[in-house]
Chain A
Amino acid sequence: MRIALFVTCVNDTMFPGTGRAMVTLLRRLGHEVLFPEAQTCCGQMHLNTGYRRQARALAEEFPKVFAGHDAVVTPSASCAATVRDWHPRLAPGAGTPPVFELSEFLVDVLAVTDVGAYYPHRVTYHPTCHSLRMLRIGDRPLRLLRAVRGIDLVDLPDAAECCGFGGTFALKNADVSAAMCADKVACVERTGADALCAADNSCLMHIGGTLARNGARARTVHLAEILASTEEDPS
């Protein structure tokens, strides 16, 4: 399958390791991965901050960049949800292509849960709000993680609670955001995990920033990086 990677502006700029893990993983599963270099951003930040005109311009551009591929796959549940839920409203008639979040693509389209990964660490999984309540990916990431060899997967208490990121919410309502993240971090620490995993690096950046500030033991790792890791080539 010829898969177009929509890496997202945040991963492209700040978390390129997640993009490289996507390439490694999808190639290992026997697919051709392309990176349309005209891609930039889905417009979520502008949309959710109230800058509709800028968001519309990005939504209109999106189908032009990704036309002609068998599938568009992204390591961000939140950006996938913006494209799927909002692009048809922002740019009606533009022909928004189907975009899949990684775990949806693996489980629903490729019909695999065991991707041959190896990750010998204690991991806990945070289901991000948009993955859970916009994309409704349910337990797909957990099914993928359970099939990883060597992993010690532990439940996160109050997992479905928001971490308090919310894009510009973290700046506009910094006090409430920090209070929410303090509770999330306390739950992560209770698990004793070495790594906190999620399907979105923006939420992980928020939780990880608080973990680091507190000198906590857990680090953050994107789902794609665990699934790309193997015994021969550990991440």
Chain B
Amino acid sequence: MTIRAEHEIHTRRRGRNLGIGLMLGGFVILVMALTYVKITNIDFSDLPGGAVQTEESM
């Protein structure tokens, strides 16, 4: 008895797992990009204590 049939299942599962892996990878990259954009565009003077910090720095 060969294992060819099982191997075929694994091949099909590999395609599905690869797809899910790529989606999860894409999601991680998207969250990283979002985080970068949010942090670099934030106005720190709007944060609690931000105004005090600005006055001190002046």
Decide if A and B are genuine partners: no
